[in-house]
Amino acid sequence: MDPVILSYHDVVLRRSDVKLLTAPCWLNDSVIGFAFEYLQKEEFSTCVDSAAFISPEVTQFIKCSYTEDLGSFLEPLELPRKKAIFLAVNDHDELQTSGGSHWSLLLYNRAENTFHHFDSLGKNNLSQARRLAHQLERFLGLGSKTPALIHEESAPSQSNAYDCGVYVICNVLLLGRWLLLGESFPQLSQIVTPAFVTQQRLEWRQLVERLAHGGK
């Protein structure tokens, strides 16, 4: 039995998913999808018209799909209106099967017309990020403009083999506060330390438990 612990908008978390928030576990699509959904609905609820937090499942579809229907699939996301788009990049190459072993963050910043890639394992996912950006750029309403892609060499680095997904969530939180809420630009490598990531794992698990019991 793997009972549902939390149903939150479009995301369902089962007991096995929630357990992944305890180290040393690698976060799956469901947990990262929940975090993105929560950030959009709560932390950045006033920015719903200007930001998109795209779930891992949809991101994988964008990256791997070559169907002509991709444009109609993305139309409800209203990407040409968004000034910031956050995507969790997985290193899995297949659309029909689940898998992968590493997460990174791809951020599109419309003010700069630039994709930024944040990878806690150096350039591990850079080719995947490039592939995703190439797939996405024609749906951003840019006309003939081509966005640049910058790999952030100074992105925070993980010190183990399992925290990549938590690094993605932490980076989204801090970069979102800068881009969407007008806070000072975050020095990510100084903030997103192993200790910070460990604390974030605990806080996200506590949040899930509160929500599951009707809290906020």
99 pLDDT tier (thresholds 50, 70, 90) = low
The continuous run of DSSP H or E covering 83 comes out as none
Note if 102 is an active site residue.
Answer: yes
The answer to whether 64 and 83 are in contact (CB under 8 A) is no
Q: Which residue has the higher pLDDT, 70 or 130?
A: 130
Residue type, 163: D
Note if 17 is an active site residue.
Answer: no
Kindly tell me if the per-residue pLDDT of 134 is higher than 90: yes
State residue 215's pLDDT score. 65
Q: At what angle do helices 29-38 and 56-64 cross, to 10 degrees?
A: 110
97 pLDDT tier (thresholds 50, 70, 90) = low
Q: Is 156 helix (H, G, I), strand (E, B) or coil?
A: coil
Report the helix count and the strand count for the chain, using DSSP H and E.
Answer: 8, 7
The span from the CA of 147 to the CA of 149, in Å, is: 7
Catalytic residue among 29, 116, 163, 164: 164
Catalytic residue among 17, 29, 91, 119: 119
- Give the number of other CB atoms < 10 A from CB of residue 9: 10
Catalytic residue among 102, 116, 163, 170: 102
Q: Which whole number is the average pLDDT over 91-97?
A: 70
The answer to whether 100 and 128 are in contact (CB under 8 A) is no
Q: Which of 75, 38, 24 is nearest to 172 (CA)?
A: 38
The answer to whether 89 and 132 are in contact (CB under 8 A) is yes
Note if 119 is an active site residue.
Answer: yes
Q: Is 48 helix (H, G, I), strand (E, B) or coil?
A: coil
State residue 73's pLDDT score. 86
Q: Which whole number is the average pLDDT over 179-186?
A: 92
Domains and CATH numbers, the chain: 4-212 (3.40.395.10)
Q: Which of 110, 113, 49 is nearest to 84 (CA)?
A: 110
